[in-house]
Amino acid sequence: MDIKDARNSIPALNGRILLNHAAVSPLPIKAAESMKNFLNDKVRARLTYNVNLEHWMEKARDSKRFFSRLIGATEDEIALIPNTTFGLNLIAHMLPYKPGSNVVTNTLEYTSNVIAWLKLRELGVEVRIIRDVNGRISLEGFEKNVDERTVAVAVGQVGWFNGFRHNLKAISEFAHDRGAFLVVDGIQAVGNMKIDVVRDGIDFLACGSYKWLMGPQNAGFLYIKKDLIDELNPPFLGENSIDPGMVERSIYERFDPFDLKYSKGIGKYEVVHIDDVAYVGASESMHLILDFGIERVEERIKRIDEYLVEGLLERGLELQTPIGEGEYHAIINFKVKDADKVMEFLSRSNIVVSKRVGGIRVSPHFYNTEEEIDIFLNILEKASGTEML
């Protein structure tokens, strides 16, 4: 697959320049068509009880395999969950806290990766928040805050508004030395770079699929490192969480309310029934990314990022993204005087970006081209010297 093939498979790219993948990605036609067809078959199945849906269910299940390949995990380490926020909350509430325990997060995190932890204050857990300096969180910040009482260090691999890229390997070594888990919000990274949960020592990772994975809403994934799957238990339970024998007895005999046995394996964490149509879409979208190759995706995005950064700096714009070697990925944010006016100005030329934290966030995917970046920069240039920029 080349860039042209990829672009041809995404109808929303016609007539506009989409540089907004950190918000919501366009849907590949195959994902849209498969979801529609599955839904049609589902409706027919309920009307006639005479339609076999097994091949669709298989496609939905494929999503685990595809996701695990994108992050270097195995399929049996992936649970299906509704979204990132759900996953982060689930993790936050299942870790073993003691009096005096703390968790560590930072000011570059998206709300979800802060509030899930802040809630723990109600249980007496201290929540330490490392402050960023000029859009960066230093390793010294972790050194000062993570100690023997730290249960979890929670970070997003790529920062949601400025693209700051944490050095997860260094953070996990540090956290593990002190007995803490590394919890990663993956939604701004999975699909735009190769993640390696083993290399980076990631214990948990939560991710939705509507951003860089180009999938629909409601198709989230939770990675739990193999050794921890049986050691821990989910904080709330659904049918999948309990021993299948118990479930069967509850259906054919009666539920035994005096006993609770957990099911084995990752399924224990799949506490809500999944939106199988969404996972069919997510499978198709991830298939497209894997077909192009995640390493190639990462490489292309890096090249486009560098081209964009150069162009913004040449035009005298101030970046909120730290641009040292290896410090950022996929998301570039530059300051403007009037973000609403800039957004309006760009949208008149059918350019889609986001207004975030006092600046404009630009988030190109692998199929965006240097020509599109040139058009974007030339249009910005027309606004320079006005009250907008």
Q: Which amino acid is at 262?
A: Y
Three-state secondary-structure class, residue 320: coil
Q: Which of residues 346-375 bind ligand PLP (CB under 6 A)?
A: none
The full DSSP string for 172-209 is HHHHHHTTPEEEEE-TTTBTTB---TTTTT-SEEEE-S
Residue placing its CB nearer to ligand PLP in the complex, 28 or 220: 220
Nearest distance in Å: CB 270, ligand PLP:
16
Residue of 20, 63, 84, 218 that binds ligand PLP (CB under 6 A): 84
316: left (phi over 0), alpha (psi -120 to 50) or beta: left
Residue of 83, 105, 150, 354 that binds ligand PLP (CB under 6 A): 83
307 belongs to the binding site for ligand PLP (CB under 6 A): no
Give dist(CA 372, CA 211) in Å, integer. Answer: 20
Residue placing its CB nearer to ligand PLP in the complex, 38 or 160: 160
Residue placing its CB nearer to ligand PLP in the complex, 187 or 346: 187
Nearest distance in Å: CB 112, ligand PLP:
4
Assess contact for 97 and 125: CB atoms under 8 A: yes
Beta-strand pair 220-224/78-81: antiparallel
Give dist(CA 302, CA 98) in Å, integer. Answer: 43
Q: Burial of 315 by CB count in 10 Å (0-12 exposed, 13-18 middle, 19+ buried)?
A: middle
Q: Which of 4, 5, 17, 13 is nearest to 371 (CA)?
A: 17
Residue of 156, 201, 234, 281 that binds ligand PLP (CB under 6 A): 156
9 belongs to the binding site for ligand PLP (CB under 6 A): no
Residue placing its CB nearer to ligand PLP in the complex, 108 or 388: 108
Residue placing its CB nearer to ligand PLP in the complex, 106 or 112: 112
Q: Which of residues 211-240 bind ligand PLP (CB under 6 A)?
A: 220
Residue of 110, 149, 228, 290 that binds ligand PLP (CB under 6 A): 110
Q: Which of residues 178-217 bind ligand PLP (CB under 6 A)?
A: 185, 187-188, 208
Residue of 68, 85, 150, 167 that binds ligand PLP (CB under 6 A): 85
Residue 16 has, within 13 A of its CA and on its CB side, a CA count of: 16
Residue placing its CB nearer to ligand PLP in the complex, 110 or 307: 110
Give dist(CA 285, CA 35) in Å, integer. Answer: 11
50 to 69: interface string for ligand PLP, x by CB under 6 A: --------------------
What are the structure tokens assigned to 351, written together?
A: 């350019």
Residue placing its CB nearer to ligand PLP in the complex, 263 or 354: 354
Q: Which residue's beta carbon is nearest to the bound ligand PLP?
A: 208
Q: In what order do the strands lie in the sheet with 354-356?
A: 332-335, 359-362, 354-356
Nearest distance in Å: CB 188, ligand PLP:
5
Size of the residue set binding ligand PLP (CB under 6 A): 13
In sequence order, what are the residues at sequence separation of 6 or more whose Cβ sits closer than 8 angstroms to the Cβ of residue 362? 19, 308, 331, 332, 333, 334, 353, 376
What are the structure tokens assigned to 185, written together?
A: 């919000």
Residue placing its CB nearer to ligand PLP in the complex, 182 or 187: 187
In sequence order, what are the residues at sequence separation of 6 or more whose Cβ sits closer than 8 angstroms to the Cβ of residue 385? none
Nearest distance in Å: CB 162, ligand PLP:
11
Nearest distance in Å: CB 152, ligand PLP:
16
160 belongs to the binding site for ligand PLP (CB under 6 A): yes
Nearest distance in Å: CB 154, ligand PLP:
11
Q: Which residues of the shown chain bind ligand PLP in the complex (CB under 6 A)?
A: 83-85, 110, 112-113, 156, 160, 185, 187-188, 208, 220
